[in-house]
């Protein structure tokens, strides 16, 4: 499995659920080029959207024929299983635009949890539904306080943590930097990787290992 980051909450996940078969490309929360960053290029098989607003913008793009997942539920496509879990962007739990989808993506015996634009603590039910997490993609520059981030990481106990949705060069949105998160969890932005390549065996005995990715 290979994970590439494009900025904000957008990742490209390339996976081969079965040996010898064609790789499956999953894109999470793709953005359009109105925020100062270059959006991901090329075709994808599956696109997940955490928020209604983002989904509505991207649905106008008819060029990509990917299967779109923008709501809670269980999905199984091309050997990949994905579960969408409803949550909210803040503690007021505003309906409509305030909704957020957490996605658990499973392939190659690896479980990824993409928290989207989560802005509240996780409930016991959500934690139970998410289950064991190998790779946690967590927003660190918006609504979640460092206290909430600590709580969530402590509840999920991932092998690898990838921070996302924070201030980077070129981004024309007001978000915080990754500095406070890195101070708390030991990530080093100077050692950021171009991409993360993973096998299930690589994750044994890892706990809360922070991986900073460069924007592709």
Q: What pLDDT sits at residue 133?
A: 97
Helical (H) or strand (E) element with 153: helix 146-156
Dihedral angle sign, alpha carbons of residues 124, 76, 51, 151:
positive
What is d(CA 8, CA 85) in angstroms, rounded to the nearest whole number? Answer: 20
Q: Could you tell me the CA-to-CA distances from 148 to 28, 138, 142, 152 in Å, in that order?
A: 23, 11, 12, 6
Top pLDDT among 169 and 18 is at 169
Dihedral angle sign, alpha carbons of residues 159, 165, 170, 176:
negative
- The phi-psi region of residue 94 (left if phi > 0; otherwise alpha if psi is between -120 and 50; otherwise beta) is beta
Average pLDDT over residues 70-97: 84
> Which SS3 state, helix, strand or coil, does residue 189 take?
helix
Question: For residue 164, what are the β-bridge partners?
Answer: 139
Residue with tokens 């998160």, as numbered in its chain: 181
pLDDT tens for 138-161 read 999 988 999 999 999 999 999 999
> Which SS3 state, helix, strand or coil, does residue 119 take?
coil
> Which SS3 state, helix, strand or coil, does residue 19 take?
coil
What is d(CA 97, CA 52) in angstroms, rounded to the nearest whole number? Answer: 6
pLDDT at residue 61 is higher than 80? no
Task: Report which of 54, 31, 44 is spatially closest to residue 80, judged by C-alpha positions.
Answer: 44
Task: Give the domains, in start order, of the chain with CATH numbers.
Answer: 2-210 (3.60.15.10)
The answer to whether 42 touches 22, Cβ cutoff 8 Å, is no
The answer to whether 114 touches 133, Cβ cutoff 8 Å, is no
The answer to whether 116 touches 139, Cβ cutoff 8 Å, is yes
The answer to whether 5 touches 214, Cβ cutoff 8 Å, is yes
pLDDT at residue 92 is higher than 80? no
pLDDT at residue 166 is higher than 60? yes
């Amino acid at each position: 499995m290979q994970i590439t980051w494009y900025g904000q909450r957008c990742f490209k996940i390339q996976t081969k659920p079965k040996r010898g078969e064609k790789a499956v490309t999953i894109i999470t929360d793709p953005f359009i080029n109105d925020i100062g960053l270059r959006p991901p290029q090329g075709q994808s098989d599956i696109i997940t959207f955490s928020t209604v607003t983002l989904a509505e913008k991207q649905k106008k793009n008819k060029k990509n024929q990917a299967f779109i997942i923008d709501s809670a539920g269980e999905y199984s496509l091309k050997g990949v299983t994905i579960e969408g879990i409803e949550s909210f962007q803040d503690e007021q739990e505003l309906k409509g635009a305030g909704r957020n989808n957490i996605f658990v993506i499973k392939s190659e015996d690896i479980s990824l949890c993409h928290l989207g634009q989560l802005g509240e603590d996780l409930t016991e039910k959500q934690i139970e539904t998410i289950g064991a997490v190998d790779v946690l993609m967590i927003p660190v520059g918006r609504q979640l306080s460092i206290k909430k981030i600590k709580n969530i990481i402590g509840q999920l106990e991932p092998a690898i943590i990838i921070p996302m949705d924070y201030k980077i060069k070129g981004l024309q949105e007001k978000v915080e930097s990754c500095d406070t998160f890195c101070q708390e969890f030991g990530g080093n932005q100077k050692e950021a990787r171009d991409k993360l390549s993973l096998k299930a065996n690589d994750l044994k005995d890892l706990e809360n290992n922070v991986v900073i990715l460069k924007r592709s």
